[in-house]
């Protein structure tokens, strides 16, 4: 419960409210505050009807604040015009930060006006600090609650808009994926201006268990595209813990862009990237191949997985026949023991580096004789010679790591 102010503070506040509530004083206050806000936030003036709405909101806020100022406890409700402005701002993409600035400017204007009045108090019994604290607490509480409620309404409105837009875009995207023959210009307009000409690269972002990763999927999509120097992407949410994304380029993704994507930190996400394909058919086929890549990546894996880097594994898929091939190829090297896992990593790097013992030793930071010893042990477990071009072994190792996270069930 708020502390009851001193009697003289109550008396001063009562007289203050009586004087400031007159029509002329209210209008003077509205004019002064609106002028300050529009001067410091000039972009508001270019929004049709918003300056008038700001004036109306100031009037409602000020009279509502004055009505509550003499009460023991503030009964706050965001004024109707402020509710309308919050929703209208969300619909017209006026940043929430701009609305918050408006409130803070109003708070500064209020504080400057009140402190000037308090400075004129010359009553010997007055302790100005008591009055300053009372007014500061009441004004700050009103502004803070106004900002919090405005933010809630703004985000709620934005969410409704995004859900509606996502539903429309998802319907349009589904028609493209189903192979419908659609007019490219009209299609681009329906998808918010996304260019349908050129090459399309599809992404699927699949979130893990972290709730924050699910809630920030759209942000992760745009950040990933920006990191790789790509145009603003088309993003849709099919539901669940996924986001689908496409980027449009004039040509196939460059090796530099692929390298940047591969090394991008994505937290609790699996990001599957289809190949760059041209036209409407490419828009659909890139997505389909991204989905097939998702099918073979173990759910516990995290990171960015490009179809171009795993094409052979995607073509094979993950099924009993492929797993049997892997078991026959790796033999006892597919075991679960720690030393067997270590041997597999050495063999995988050795084969990836073209069978170079020196390069493998340098990359793993061990002596070349250690690499020779590990390769001999691996050969024994494999039950076959391990040549520098053992493509079947390399393929089986990659499948074990990508599709089974390095641990194949018996």
Q: pLDDT band at 3, cuts 50/70/90?
A: low
* Crossing angle for the helix pair 368-382 and 338-352, to the nearest 10 degrees: 110
Comparing CA positions, the residue from 327, 307, 311 lying closest to residue 404 is: 327
Per-domain residue ranges for the chain?
7-159, 197-315, 318-404
Residue 381, pLDDT > 70, answer yes
- pLDDT score, position 127: 66
Tens-digit pLDDT profile for residues 178-187: 998 888 999 9
* Average pLDDT value for residue range 212-233: 87
- pLDDT score, position 10: 86
% of the chain exceeding 90 in pLDDT: 49
Full DSSP string of 67-88: HHHTSSS------HHHHHHHHH
* Average pLDDT value for residue range 3-7: 74
- pLDDT score, position 124: 53
Is there a contact between 38 and 109 (Cβ–Cβ < 8 Å)?
no
- Give the Cβ contact number of residue 209 at 10 Å: 8
More confident of the two residues 126 and 382: 382
- pLDDT score, position 165: 85
3-state helix, strand, coil split of the chain in percent (to 5) is 65, 10, 25
- pLDDT score, position 410: 61
* Crossing angle for the helix pair 7-20 and 50-69, to the nearest 10 degrees: 150
| Domain spanning 197-315: CATH superfamily | Ribosomal protein S10 (3.30.70.600)
Tens-digit pLDDT profile for residues 233-286: 999 999 888 999 999 999 998 888 888 999 999 989 999 999 999 999 999 999
- pLDDT score, position 34: 93
Tokens 């490419």 appear where? 282
More confident of the two residues 118 and 222: 222
- pLDDT score, position 116: 83
Please list the residues that pair with 235 across neighbouring strands. Answer: 245
- Angstrom distances, CA of residue 229 to CA of 16, 75, 251, 277, 368: 59, 51, 13, 18, 40
Q: Select from 3.40.710.10, 1.10.10.2840, 3.10.20.70, 3.30.930.10 the CATH code of 318-404.
A: 1.10.10.2840
Full DSSP string of 336-382: -SHHHHHHHHHHHHHHHTTT-HHHHHHHHTS-HHHHHHHHHHHHHHH
Tens-digit pLDDT profile for residues 316-330: 999 999 999 998 888
Q: How many Å apart are CA 343 and CA 339, to the nearest integer?
A: 6
More confident of the two residues 3 and 174: 174
- pLDDT score, position 1: 45
Tokens representing residue 170 in the block: 């998802």
Q: How many Å apart are CA 166 and CA 236, to the nearest integer?
A: 6
Range in 138-152, 291-305, 326-340 the model is least confident about: 326-340
* Average pLDDT value for residue range 297-305: 94
Range in 65-69, 155-159, 372-376, 388-392 the model is least confident about: 388-392
Q: Residue 172, by phi and psi: left (phi above 0), alpha (psi -120 to 50) or beta?
A: alpha
Residue 125, pLDDT > 60, answer no
Comparing CA positions, the residue from 169, 280, 188 lying closest to residue 231 is: 188
Q: Select from 1.10.4030, 1.10.490, 1.10.10, 1.25.40 the CATH code of 7-159.
A: 1.10.490
pTM: 0.67
Residue 393, pLDDT > 60, answer yes
The terminus-to-terminus CA distance of the chain in angstroms comes to 66
């Amino acid at each position: 419960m708020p502390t009851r102010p001193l009697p003289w503070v109550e008396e001063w506040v009562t007289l203050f409210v009586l004087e400031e509530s007159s029509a002329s004083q209210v209008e003077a206050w509205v004019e002064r505050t609106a002028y300050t806000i529009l001067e410091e936030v000039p972009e508001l003036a270019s929004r049709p009807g918003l300056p008038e709405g700001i004036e109306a909101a100031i009037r409602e806020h000020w009279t509502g604040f004055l009505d509550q100022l003499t009460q023991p406890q503030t009964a706050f409700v965001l004024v109707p015009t402020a509710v309308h402005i919050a929703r209208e701002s969300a619909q017209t993409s006026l940043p929430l930060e701009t609305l918050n600035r408006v409130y803070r400017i109003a708070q500064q204007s209020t504080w400057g006006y009140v402190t000037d009045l308090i400075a004129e108090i010359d009553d010997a019994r007055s302790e100005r600090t008591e009055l300053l604290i009372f007014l500061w607490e009441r004004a700050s509480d009103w502004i803070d609650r106004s900002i919090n409620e405005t933010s809630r309404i703004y985000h709620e409105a934005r969410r409704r808009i995004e859900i509606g837009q996502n539903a429309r875009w998802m319907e349009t995207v589904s028609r493209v994926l189903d192979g419908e023959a659609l007019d490219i210009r009209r299609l681009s307009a329906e998808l918010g201006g996304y260019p349908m000409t050129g090459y399309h690269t599809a992404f699927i972002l699949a979130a893990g268990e972290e709730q924050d990763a699910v809630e920030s999927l759209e942000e992760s999509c745009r950040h990933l595209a920006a990191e790789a120097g790509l145009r603003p992407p088309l993003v849709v949410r099919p539901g669940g813990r996924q986001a689908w994304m496409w980027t449009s380029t004039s040509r196939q993704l460059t090796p530099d862009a692929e390298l940047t994507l591969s090394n991008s930190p994505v937290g609790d996400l699996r990001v599957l990237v289809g190949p760059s394909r041209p036209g409407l058919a490419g828009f659909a086929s890139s997505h389909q191949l991204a989905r097939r890549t998702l099918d073979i990546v173990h759910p516990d894996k995290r990171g960015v997985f490009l179809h171009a880097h795993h094409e052979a594994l995607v073509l094979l898929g993950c099924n009993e026949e492929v797993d049997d091939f892997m078991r026959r190829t790796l033999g006892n090297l597919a075991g679960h023991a720690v030393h067997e896992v270590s041997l597999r990593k050495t063999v995988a790097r050795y084969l990836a580096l073209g069978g170079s013992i020196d390069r493998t030793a340098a990359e793993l930071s061990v002596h070349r004789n250690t690499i020779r010893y590990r390769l001999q042990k691996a050969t024994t477990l494999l039950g076959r010679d391990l040549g520098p071009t053992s493509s079947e072994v390399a393929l089986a190792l990659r499948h074990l790591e990508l599709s089974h996270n390095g641990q194949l069930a018996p």
